[in-house]
A and B are shown apart, each in its own frame.
Chain A
Amino acid sequence: MTDTALFTYCMRLADDSAILSQRLGEWCGHASHLEEDIALTNIALDLIGHARELYTYAGQIEGKGRDEDALCFHRVEREFNNLLLVEQPNDDFAYAIMRQFLFSAFMHPFWEAMMNSKDEQLAGLAAKAEKEAAYHLRHSAEWVIRLGDGTEESHNRISDALEFLWMYTGEMFECDEVVSSLVAKEVAVDPMSIKHLWDETVNTVLARANLERPTESWMQTGGRKGEHSEHLGHILSPMQYLQRSFPQAQW
């Protein structure tokens, strides 16, 4: 029996990880200093790990023989269900760090809560992912503070990034039919149940960074339904090019 909701739920999480890791991979060899190059790659690697497990699990739920690569490399923009936040470009290091911080401030309590899922696979992944997300959060939060409380230039850049990315944070807390049906079965995490934790982290870190929390304003939406910003197609094009050009090939 195919559990459509669970399949969709896993695919969303997998797409978040895959797309963000692709963005982080763009830094490889180009960061401000070697230590940071290594740190960003670390985060990218953790996220690829999550994506692989989640796609593989989704493929098993679906039962049509699609493996992690079929799911990641052979779907088009409209079939990707990642958050708009994670596809936003690396305009500069401040954007990359703020994107990571806003996301990880959500994902850390998310995986923590997921450890209690009735779904054994998700609970198992959560036990590992929670520790990794804790590191992603610590690393990005430290940078938000350093940049916010560093020089005038760094303050301006990180504050621009915050202003721009804020409108993509509402999507993390959306709860549609897919999520609510799985929350009812105690499989999924109710995003609103961790909202206070996210708020607390964000408020604390922004205060230490001398940054003002943007006023509540219009929140963008659409990622979970496959309605993306223009960036996604440009992420998928290089990512999928070899699989698409040589569909018979194994790598």
Chain B
Amino acid sequence: MYTQALNNPAVEAGVEDEEKLAAFQARIDREEKIEPNDWMPAAYRKTLVRQISQHAHSEVVGMLPEGNWVTRAPSLKRKAILLAKIQDEGGHGLYLYSAAETLGVSREELVDQLLTGKAKYSSIFNYPTLNWADVGAVGWLVDGAAIMNQIPLCRCSFGPYSRAMIRICKEESFHQRQGYDLLVAMMKGTAEQQEMVQDAVNRLWWPALMMFGPSDKDSKHSAASMKWKIKRFTNDELRQKFVDATVPQAKVLGISLPDIDLKLNEETGHWEHGEPDWDEFYNTIQGNGICNKQRMKDRIKAHEDGAWVREAAQAYAAKQAAKKSAA
């Protein structure tokens, strides 16, 4: 069940062949898709493996904060919606690990990088889900921010990633609507329910803005990614799109957003917003968020507790294969 990566290219080190590089860039500029067996610069491959695997890890770790509410969902309908959403996120993890595997790295290696702390995942999942409205706020804000990030990735130059994103984006927008719908239902409810919604949004708003990464002046990876059309907009541009789309939704919902600097610039039509607390962001990325240690502990425990199950499946498959070849 754990396929080894099929193509394991020798890592091209150091200087790239100028001609190949120029031909590669020309293909990108013509908006051609790069496929796994095509020539690509080592740095392009490396960037993609890092980005796709981080994305995959985020989907999987992201199952935990929402999973926190599965047994406590307040109605059978909401429980079913929540379970189906978390199941989708697991499916996203699977497609993305598969997309990364086409670049010559195995899922086992990638999972190992996550569990040993070498690989990162989105900082947002290191925040706790503290009341039922968090489930709605995660759908609305976190899936909403993910969509802003991911829609341009549907046109990413790397074919398998682009195709995975097209499929994933459809489901993410569904999650976003369901999350919003949950909040709308609560806002129509009792004062206590409305307070839960406001509390959830107060806690998750800034972490959602941080999902777009550091501001452009501090972002390391942007330039090359833009040239290679892995990325098409800067972090700040995407963050602005998200704020512009979300502020009116907050108004319809009837809640306030916890940013005193938020105001509409009549000339540009954009909502100006305050700066996220970047110290908190870097602190979280470095492992000191409220739930970092808990999330890793949970993932490691699931992996270790499941070791005997995976071993059994492998042993059984090996026995079956031996029987077949003997027959």
Q: Which residues of A contact B (CB under 8 A)?
A: 18, 21-22, 25-26, 28-38, 41-42, 44-45, 48-49, 51-52, 55, 68-69, 72-73, 92-93, 145-147, 149-151, 153-154, 157, 238-239, 241-243, 246, 248-251
* A48 & B72 in contact (Cβ 8 Å cutoff): no
Closest to B78 in A: A251
Q: B97: which A residues are within 8 A, CB to CB?
A: 34
Q: Is B186 located at the chain interface by the 8 A CB criterion?
A: yes
> How far, in Å, is B277 (CB) from chain A's closest CB?
28
Q: How large is the interface on B (under 10, 10 to 19, 20 to 34, 35 or more residues)?
A: 35 or more
* B72 & A238 in contact (Cβ 8 Å cutoff): yes
Complex: A241 Cα to B132 Cα, angstroms: 11
Residue from A34, A48, A147, A149 within 8 A of B309 (CB atoms): A147
Q: B316: which A residues are within 8 A, CB to CB?
A: 145-147, 149-150
Q: A92: which B residues are within 8 A, CB to CB?
A: 305
Closest to A14 in B: B76
Q: B307: which A residues are within 8 A, CB to CB?
A: 32
Q: What is the predominant secondary structure among interface residues of chain A facing chain B?
A: helix
* B302 & A31 in contact (Cβ 8 Å cutoff): yes
Q: A145: which B residues are within 8 A, CB to CB?
A: 316
Complex: A22 Cα to B189 Cα, angstroms: 26
* B193 & A246 in contact (Cβ 8 Å cutoff): yes
Q: B193: which A residues are within 8 A, CB to CB?
A: 246, 249
* B 243-276 to A, binary, CB cutoff 8 A, 1 in contact else 0: 0000000000000000000000000000000000
* A45 & B80 in contact (Cβ 8 Å cutoff): yes
Complex: A37 Cα to B144 Cα, angstroms: 24
With A49-B80, A68-B76 as contacts: A38 and B90 at CB distance below 8 Å: yes
Complex: A44 Cα to B76 Cα, angstroms: 11
Residue from A28, A32, A44, A151 within 8 A of B63 (CB atoms): A28
Complex: A72 Cα to B189 Cα, angstroms: 21
Q: B34: which A residues are within 8 A, CB to CB?
A: none
* B302 & A32 in contact (Cβ 8 Å cutoff): yes
Complex: A194 Cα to B190 Cα, angstroms: 49
Q: Is B166 located at the chain interface by the 8 A CB criterion?
A: no
Complex: A250 Cα to B190 Cα, angstroms: 8
Complex: A32 Cα to B313 Cα, angstroms: 11
Q: A28: which B residues are within 8 A, CB to CB?
A: 63, 67, 70, 83, 86-87
Q: A238: which B residues are within 8 A, CB to CB?
A: 71-72
Q: B76: which A residues are within 8 A, CB to CB?
A: 18, 48, 51-52, 55, 68-69, 72
Q: A32: which B residues are within 8 A, CB to CB?
A: 302-303, 305-307, 309-310
Most buried by B among A26, A38, A251: A251
Q: Is B315 located at the chain interface by the 8 A CB criterion?
A: yes
* Cβ contacts A to B, 27 pairs, < 8 Å: A29-B90, A29-B302, A30-B298, A32-B310, A36-B309, A41-B84, A44-B83, A45-B83, A45-B84, A49-B80, A51-B76, A52-B80, A55-B76, A68-B76, A69-B76, A73-B75, A146-B316, A149-B316, A150-B311, A151-B312, A242-B132, A243-B74, A246-B74, A246-B193, A250-B185, A250-B188, A251-B132
Closest to B87 in A: A41
Complex: A230 Cα to B93 Cα, angstroms: 37
* A38 & B308 in contact (Cβ 8 Å cutoff): no
* B302 & A30 in contact (Cβ 8 Å cutoff): yes
Residue from A22, A157, A242 within 8 A of B74 (CB atoms): A242
Closest to B91 in A: A38
Q: A25: which B residues are within 8 A, CB to CB?
A: 70-71, 79, 83
Closest to A25 in B: B70
> How far, in Å, is B307 (CB) from chain A's closest CB?
8
CB contacts under 8 Å to A, within B35-85, are 60, 63-64, 67, 70-80, 83-84
Q: A242: which B residues are within 8 A, CB to CB?
A: 72-74, 132
Complex: A227 Cα to B74 Cα, angstroms: 25
Complex: A48 Cα to B313 Cα, angstroms: 28
Which 7 A-B pairs give the minimum distances between C-beta atoms? A32-B306, A150-B312, A154-B312, A29-B67, A242-B74, A32-B309, A29-B63
Residue from B64, B80, B186, B298 within 8 A of A251 (CB atoms): B186
Q: Is B296 located at the chain interface by the 8 A CB criterion?
A: no
Q: A41: which B residues are within 8 A, CB to CB?
A: 83-84, 86-87, 90
